[in-house]
Every structure is written in structure tokens, then in C-alpha cells.
Structure 1
Amino acid sequence: PGSVNNDEFWAVNGLNKRIDVNSDYVILAMRDFFWTNDKAYLEEMWPSIKNTLDYVLEKRDSDGDLQPDVNLRNSYDNVPIYGFSAYVNTKWLAAITSAVSGAKILGDSAAEKKYTEVLEKGKELFEEKLWTGEYYRLYNNEGGKEHPGMNEGCLTDQIVGQWTNQLSGLDDIYPKARIQQALQTIMDLSYKPGFGLRNGSWPGDDFYHEVVRDPALPDYMYECDQLNIFWSGTELAFASFLIYEDMYEQALDIIKTVDNRYRKAGRYWDHQEWGGHYYRAMSAWSVINALLGLTINQEVYSFSPKVPQDNLKLFFAFPGGTAYFVRTVNGANGSIAIKVLSGQFLCKQLNYSGPGIEEEDVNVLIDNEPVQDVNKKTDVSSRSISIDFNKTTTINTGQTLQINF
């Protein structure tokens, strides 16, 4: 109850000042559009999306570089962050990427031009200010009036904006080589098999230390107590990120560690983070999408399964329903099928990459009946297929869309 701006609880805890929640709002609103392709929804949300981004540009950018400047308050509420930060700015760049796409769809050329400039400037500064050669540092506040300097912390969520982009098939924010280098460094510094993946650490930091003030340890290890622990929601989101980046075995190890930890504690259905039944652990659903290499954007479904076996059957959910993805490979021939379990699977285009594509000949069927008037593109060298239905095609509950190759 109460107003976010006036309620004492919100004000005392600074929840109404957390700069990253503006980006969260835009990412979630745009993701819902990408996944549902509901243009009326986008048109309704677009003014508030622009207002949210413009608030940051007008009120929370103190140095005119078109990027948010952090003064302590963020969703890692026990982690002091200042200046240009990996966590806040990666989400900002993801939000801006989504907004550029939204502007194009709605024909808002002024917003498209504006946000494209913000995006390109932000990507440049992210590399310049935060890249250490192995990962993106916690923050850079060189030249800042308060708390000047840099913090070399290695946050597990340092490029979480790249992960949110992947879920909707949006462009990469960072160079591919640096994405994978950063993920590997996080594993090296912050993961202990059978124990957990810390929220963050520093080079030379012990994996685990008690939360007791010790004059021999620097203050930042106490200020950043939230980095000295692990949250299953963050661990599972990171694991799905690894899967998308073809780091399957490492991801599986994290998932097993989390699963075993909660089974042993008798809290399999009640992950304890800030409190019981905490929302963040629902990031487990992203693992399901990641195993299929699944992205959804305006009824365009792209599958690039990451499970290292030819024949497989995997469950997934889509807006309004559920289905199985089935792949069968037999020598030089193969097929994929979408077996709809519930709801209606609405698809304008289906892309697939993976084993079994040895020839350019492709057949598309719904319940064993050939589908006419589709555009089919096959690239044997990259083992990929693209099926453009030229319109929204509906696969109802109990029906199967099959592609033979």
C-alpha cells in the first residue's frame, strides 16, 4: 500500500531511486511484445517506454554521455555502485536495443535515431570504461565527485543485458569473444562445484569468507556482502546464458549444484534468497528455452538446440501454450517437429540450425499434409533452414508441424 514516491518504506529503502528498474520496465514491456506480437499492446505501452528512457537521459545522466550515472542505489541494494557500472549499464543497453526495435516497428523515426545514438555511444563507453582484458569491472567512476575511482569486482550479472537480448533474438551488445571470455572468468573466479556460484568476487579474493569485520580485509568486502553469497535465481539465469553461448557442460554443472543443494536442504520448492518462495528463482524457465537455443520475436521462432545429441525431444512453452520440439536424425536425413500440447502455436517464420541438414531439399507438413506457398531457404554449409510462411500460420492443440530435410 502507499505511493512509491511517498510511502516511508519505499523512501527509506531507496526503492524509488533505483536507476536500473527503469531499464527493467522497458526490457519486460518490449519482451512481452516480441513474444506475443501484439502491436496494439506496443502502441499502448510506447509512450510510457519513451517517458521511462527519457527520464534517465534527462534526470539521471549527470555528465551528458547519454548513459545513466549511478549514485549507490540499484537492485543490488547492498552493493555500492557509482558512476558507469556493468550491472546498471548492461541493462540500459538491453533496454535501448529493444527501444530501437520498437521505434522501427512503429515508424517513430525520431525515437529510432535518438536511441540508436544512445546505443552506439553506450556500447563504446562500456568497452572503454569497463573491459579489463578478462571481464567487465564492477564500475568506473574516475573523475566522479563522490567515490572516485574504479572497482575491479567481477559481477556474475555483469552482462545480463546480453542474456535478455538473446531471449528475444536481438543483436549482440558485446563482441562475441569478450562475451565468452567474461563468462569463463566468472566461472573461474566465482564458481565452486558442489557449492555454488557467487554473485561476484574480486581477483585474489578467497572463494568464501565469513561476514565478520576483519581489519585485514578491505572495506569493499563488507560493503558488498551480497556478492559473498549465491542466489539460485542468478545461478540458473547464468547457466542458461552459458547454454546459449555453447558452454553446455559448465552450465549443466551449475544446474546440478543448485538442484542438489536445495534437495539436500529440503527446500526444493522454496528457494531462500531475500525470503522464502522468492520470485527470482523462476529464471529456471530460461534454461528450458536455452536448451533449445530458442528465441521468439514477432512470431519468428528460431531453434538451435544445444543438447549434444542428434535425436531429442524437449518441452517448451510459448505465449499461450506448450509444445514438444522433436528432432530425428538418420544418416543424411532428418526432421524436426513442433507437437502442440496446448494452445495455438502462431508462426510466421521458423528457423532451425543443427545436425541432419545434408541436402537443400526440404518438405513442410502440418499433420502429414504438405504446406504450400512457403519460402524455403537451406544453407548446407551452416546447417541451417529458414521457413517463411508468408503469413501467420496456426498450429492448434494436438497438431504437428513437421519439417523433413
Structure 2
Amino acid sequence: LDFWDDFTDDGELDARTDKKTNSPAASVAIKTRIPAKGSRTFTYIIAWHFPNRQTWSPDNDCDSACDCTTVNTIGNHYCEQFTDAWDAASKVAQNLKSLEQDSLKFVTSFCKSDYPDAVKDAALSNLAILKTQTCFRTPDGHFYGWEGVGPSTGCCSGSCTHVWNYEQAVAFLFSELSQSMRIVEFAHATNDEGCMSFRVNLPLDKKAMSFKRAAADGQMGCIMKIYRDWQLCGDDTFLKELWPNVKRSLEFCWVPGGWDADQDGVMEGCQHNTMDVEYYGPNPQMGCWYLGALRAAEEMASYLGDDAFADRCNDLFKRGSKWIDDELFNGEFYEHHVVAPKKGTDIHPSLAAGMGSDDLKEPEYQLANGCLVDQLVGQYMAHICGLGYLLKKSNIKKTLRSIYKYNRKSGFHDHFNSMRSYVLGDETALLMANYPKDRPKLPFPYFTEVMTGFEYTAAVGMLYEDLEKQGLQCIGDIRARYNGRHRNPFDEAECGRYYARAMASWAAIPALSDFLYSAVEQSIQFTEKSGTYFWSTGSAWGNAIVTKTGLKLTVEFGSIKIKSIQLGQRQSKLKTASSLSKGRSKLFKI
């Protein structure tokens, strides 16, 4: 009231000399005169400095003042870069022009590419998640993420592996941060047996492995992600240092009571997963992750000279792939064969996270014969990594057609959903699962919901299989729901706002451009379809103009080395490696 009285009196704020220590509020005003039909720009910089970040969830026995001696303070990385909020504001002010120019250059370069508007909208808008409290860094530089955030705290702690499996933005835009996540997962969260805690607790040096539970999809996805990150950065030291635990994490599949205890290339054991339940028996979702991990491990082992392990992975991959095609594909999509363990003691103690069925004879919360929206998620990741097909190409395409047929629903007035409602009324979305035939009495809890991260995964899969019309339609359906009128376009919620899985939207960029880059081989690949394509490697980005005669490659940030170029079926090997740095372009005739 005092502020309002002062302001409305003459339109100015009077200077206040009294400094009340118990009142942190203050006002800042800039005075200027603006002539008729004139304009002025006012720049305000808001800065902060909070050095005492606590762990994911402060101890329950501490009071609101957070003065309990058992609270673990982990700090913030930015506090190592700035002495206080004033220092942060000062440095931003000094570099504001260049910071704005670099940001605008990225957005402009991205937006002038020929990707469909819905794809650009989805990919770019969800990058906002990286600027929210979903993500943070500790003073040692390690990067972490909640699954999402609530009004005053994060939702679901621990850089959850099975959630962060889906997003692609961090790896393709900030390779240092992505590599940091792999270091945490393999060097800190994986024990000597190879069990990776799918939620990493903090402080890292005291509690990293204290969660003691492994997720089948999370762990297999991390093996694929370290392959992806290594290919993008080309740092052999990064791979070699983590390889022993990468190898252990795959071997963990084969322990007694494990996911693939009989070592036939198919996961049959107790599989905790991103549906927050345990699957029992072979299924496409976990099966594809496993096949992808076997392929990634085979490639890494072969490169490092571990030929025996590479051969073992190759053998398991071939047998598992054939079995899944032969036994789980029903002619339209892949099904889950529910096979319950004989007794609970048959399950390795690290595999049941306590969120599955109490009845192991007839387990509840299974996928069973449902058509799952992301049953081919491992193939989605395999395409992004350049690992080839995990299952028969024809079956994959049929499955994606079936997902579009059975899971895409327009109009939700008559749709029963006992869980969260992320689609309403006349909107269109991909259901988590649909049951064209008989449905289990109690399927996994989320089957009636829709969640954008899973929808993007299916849509990107369609793009990779030349089902472009269907894939773009699914992405357009999402952005029509998050159009700024119905929902926040920068906040595709799931378990919390600004949900990490939504950054799977970035995967449509490499899918539509058929982009692959290997810093290991110094090779780059694009589609042969003429057009302008934004590309990124995690440490460099720019645009590529593809024509019938060749490729014009422009680097707007970072640098890149190339020995070979592929445009569809056209390929060119350079006599000497070509290096391009920021601001440079080069024309390659192919």
C-alpha cells in the first residue's frame, strides 16, 4: 500500500533512506522522459546467488529453518563462477551484447532451417526445461536433473535413468553436461556387481549408490547413451575410464535371478521400468533396450580390443532379436508374454523396487497383449546412435503403423482415465497403451494416460521409418495441445512441470535430416533430400545445405573435423581431414 500510494501520487518513487533489516523488499526505478510517439528500452538484470543448495530432499527431522546438523549441503556450480549476485549481474552486464547475439544466432540459425514448423516449435520450446529448476549443477561441475518440478520442490529425484533415457537435447547441444551424467551413472552409481542405482543420491561421495535398485530400461539406456556421447565427442579417454563399469553393467543382466539369467538375449526376469512397475517375462519395451545395449557394447568392446566380449554381445543380440521377432510379434505389433517367477527369492534383490504386484503367481500391472506407445524405444535410440536395426525392419514399420492406428485417439469426451489428464475434450493424442483385444484386469497404471515424451518417441520412430505424414501429425497433435492458449508451450508436464522426458522432441531434428556424426571416425551424414538443415554435435552447431551436387556445411559455433561425408547413398571420402571452425563454411561436391 505504501508503494502504491507513493507511485500514484506523481508517477515517481521517492528515494528511501531508511534501511530496515527485517524487510528484504525494495524497489528499483529508472527515470527518463519519452516524447510523443517515441520509445525507450529499459534493461533490468535480475541476479541471484544461493550457495547452500541442499540434497534432493532435506532430512525429514530438520525444521523449516534448515538448521539441522544432519542436512547435507551440496552447493551450486554457479556459485563457484560468481562471488555473489552483484558479481553475476556485473559480468552479465559487461557481456550482455555478445550473450544476446550468440543466443539470437542460435535461434535464427535453427529457425531458418527447413524442418516443419511443429517440429521446430517442439524442439525449441522444450529447451526451456534446461533453464528451469529441473536441472542443476553441483560445485564439482556434475549435472543433475529432477524428473520435473513442483511449486516449491523437485519431483522425483536422482537424475532418474529411465526418464532421462528419452531426452536428446543435452547430448546434442551440451556434450560436457551429457558426459557428466554418464560419469555419475557409471563411476559413482554402479557397484562392483554392475548394479546401477537408477536414482543417484547426494552427496555423491557418501550416498551415490544408496538407492540400491536397478531399472532394466534405465541401465540399458545408459549403455547406449555412453556410446552416443563417445561418438559425438570422440574422446577415447572418456570411454576407456568408464568401460570397466559399462561392461559390468551389461554383465549384471546375467547374474542369477537377473534380467537375462539364462543368457539367451531376451529379458525374462523382474524388470522394473519407467512405467513404475515391474514387468515379468519377455516384452518389446525392455527387450529393445537390451538389444540396443548389446549392440552398443559390441561396438565399444570391438573398438577397445575386447574381442571376446564383443563376440558374446553379438551372439546374444542375434539370438535375442530373432526370438523377439519370432515369438512376440503378433503380425501387427509386439506383445508382452507374462511369465511370473516361481517364488520371490528367484528375483535378484536389486531388481524389485517395491512398486510391482504383490501376487507373483498372477502379477498385476503388466502390459500383456497391449499395443504400447513406446514399445520400440530402444530402436528409437539405436537410430539416433547409428546402431542399425534391432529387429526386422518390416516388423518395426508395421508396429509403428499399428501404434498410429490403435493408440492415436481424437476426442476424449468419452475416454475413461483414472490417472492424470493431459488431454481433454476434442484434442488428439497417442494413448500410452491400447488393447485391441482382451485387456488384463489391472494393466500398468498409466495405460489410459497420454504423456508427450512417449508420444515424441513414437513419432520420431515413424519419421525414421518413412512414415513422415504420421510422425508429423503426432508431433502436431502435441503442439496443438500446448499452443499457449490451452497449456504452457514451454511446459509439457508429466510427473511435475518442465518434465525432462519432453526433450525427446529434439530427436526429430536428427531424424528428419538423417543426421549422424562420429567424432571417432570423423564422419558426417545427412539425408540426400535437398534442403537446409540445422545440425549439432554437442560441442558445435550450424547449418547444412544439401543439393543434388553436394553439401555446403556452415559452422556457427565450435569446430568440427570431417574425413568422410554421406548423403543418402552418395558418399565421399576426403583425401585429408577437413577442419571447420566457428564462422566458416565449406562446399563439398558429392
TM-score range, shorter chain: 0.7 to 0.9
Q: 1:68 to 1:400 in 2, by over 3 A?
A: same
Q: Tell me the alpha carbon deviations over residues 231-273 of structure 1, each in whole angstroms, 9 at most, x when there is no partner.
A: 1111122222211111111111111111110113231111111
Q: Secondary structure at the match of 1:140?
A: coil
Alpha-carbon distance in structure 2 between the residues aligned to 1:144 and 1:5: 23
Alpha-carbon distance in structure 1 between the residues aligned to 2:212 and 2:552: 46
1:268 matched to 2:493: no
Aligned to 1:370: none
TM-score normalized with structure 1 length: 0.79
Letter in 2 for 1:105: Y
8 A Cα contact 2:253 2:261, kept in partner: no
Q: CA deviation at 1:62?
A: 3.9
Q: Secondary structure at the match of 1:230?
A: coil
Q: CA deviation at 1:40?
A: 1.4
Paired residues, what number?
349
Q: CA deviation at 1:171?
A: 2.2
Q: CA deviation at 1:226?
A: 1.1
- Aligned with residue 444 of structure 2, among 194, 218, 224: 224
1:157 matched to 2:157: no
- Aligned with residue 512 of structure 2, among 281, 284, 291: 291
Alpha-carbon distance in structure 2 between the residues aligned to 1:77 and 1:296: 34
Q: 1:185 to 1:25 in 2, by over 3 A?
A: same
Letter in 2 for 1:69: E
8 A Cα contact 2:265 2:291, kept in partner: no
Aligned to 1:389: 574
Alpha-carbon distance in structure 1 between the residues aligned to 2:545 and 2:337: 47
Q: RCO greater where, 1 or 2, for CA within 8 Å and sep 6 or more?
A: 2
Letter in 2 for 1:196: A
Q: Secondary structure at the match of 1:42?
A: helix
RMSD: 2.7
8 A Cα contact 1:294 1:305, kept in partner: no
Q: CA deviation at 1:229?
A: 1.2
Q: CA deviation at 1:389?
A: 2.4
Letter in 1 for 2:267: P
1:335 matched to 2:550: yes
Q: Secondary structure at the match of 1:314?
A: strand
Aligned to 2:160: none
Q: CA deviation at 1:204?
A: 4.4
Aligned to 1:213: none
Q: CA deviation at 1:392?
A: 3.9
Alpha-carbon distance in structure 2 between the residues aligned to 1:229 and 1:75: 14
Alpha-carbon distance in structure 2 between the residues aligned to 1:267 and 1:7: 30
Q: CA deviation at 1:129?
A: 2.6
Letter in 2 for 1:313: T
Identity of aligned residues (%): 23
8 A Cα contact 2:266 2:324, kept in partner: no
Q: Secondary structure at the match of 1:25?
A: helix
8 A Cα contact 1:342 1:398, kept in partner: yes
Alpha-carbon distance in structure 2 between the residues aligned to 1:120 and 1:5: 27
Letter in 2 for 1:128: D
Q: Secondary structure at the match of 1:141?
A: coil
Alpha-carbon distance in structure 2 between the residues aligned to 1:337 and 1:90: 36
Q: 1:294 to 1:219 in 2, by over 3 A?
A: same
Aligned to 2:539: 320
TM-score normalized with structure 2 length: 0.55
Q: Secondary structure at the match of 2:447?
A: helix
8 A Cα contact 1:166 1:295, kept in partner: no
Alpha-carbon distance in structure 2 between the residues aligned to 1:91 and 1:252: 24
Aligned to 1:95: 293
Alpha-carbon distance in structure 2 between the residues aligned to 1:338 and 1:166: 22
Letter in 1 for 2:307: S
Within 5 A, what are the aligned runs for 1:95-174? 95-137=293-335, 139-142=336-339, 144-145=341-342, 146-147=360-361, 151-174=368-391
Compare the two structures and name the one with the higher strand fraction: 1
8 A Cα contact 1:270 1:276, kept in partner: yes
Aligned to 1:20: 217
Alpha-carbon distance in structure 2 between the residues aligned to 1:219 and 1:177: 32
Q: CA deviation at 1:390?
A: 5.0
8 A Cα contact 1:233 1:284, kept in partner: yes
Aligned to 2:44: none
